[in-house]
Amino acid sequence: MEIMQGYSYHIKDEFFDMIQDKYLMNNKEGGNYRPHFLAIQDSKMKELYWMIPISSQVEKYKIIIEKKIKRYGKCNTIIIGKFAGKDNAFLIQNAFPITKKYFDHIHTVDNKPITIHNQLNRELTINLREVLAMYRRGIHLIFPDIENIQRKLEEELTEHRECR
């Protein structure tokens, strides 16, 4: 499967079984493939993709955004934007890395892959990179243990290369 930026994907259960991070959103709710995640390729390590959960609970996240803006003057961890014709919350605060191996399938509506607008894609990419840079400086705005997840994925990639 080709992974394309600007599209959302569902992730294999195998990934969540391996990682066991309490801050990752549950893969399936009620037998459905939920949530789905926007994929943004890592700028340095091309085998990694950063997955941003997409939530339809916009009103809940608007309140959180307002609180963060009042407290910090801005909010770059939750972005509200259109997806599939509706407002959705893109949760950079819950982002995590993944490799191609763990992508299950692309998210579709009426069997058609849904993409986000280029401007929203740019905004999310910029905010993700800013939040990751802050994380690396010790300001942890992302809930999952992304260092542990990335380490496990890099070990797996190294093992895979050595087996060739």
2 inside domain: no
Nearest-angstrom CA–CA distance, 8 and 38: 4
pTM of the model: 0.91
CATH code at 76?
Answer: 3.10.129.130
Nearest-angstrom CA–CA distance, 110 and 61: 27
3 inside domain: no
Which pLDDT score, from 0 to 100, does residue 27 have? Answer: 62
24 inside domain: yes
Q: pLDDT tens for the chain, 164 residues: list them.
A: 889 888 999 999 899 889 988 888 766 655 555 678 999 999 889 999 999 999 999 999 999 999 999 999 999 999 999 998 899 999 999 999 999 999 998 988 888 898 899 999 999 999 999 999 999 999 999 999 999 999 999 998 888 776 76
The total domain count for the chain is 1
Nearest-angstrom CA–CA distance, 116 and 5: 9
CA distances from 140 to 49, 79, 147 (A): 19, 17, 11
Distance, CA of 109 to chain centre: 19
Residues near 157 by Cβ (< 8 Å), separated by ≥ 6? 47, 99
Domain extent for 120 = 8-163
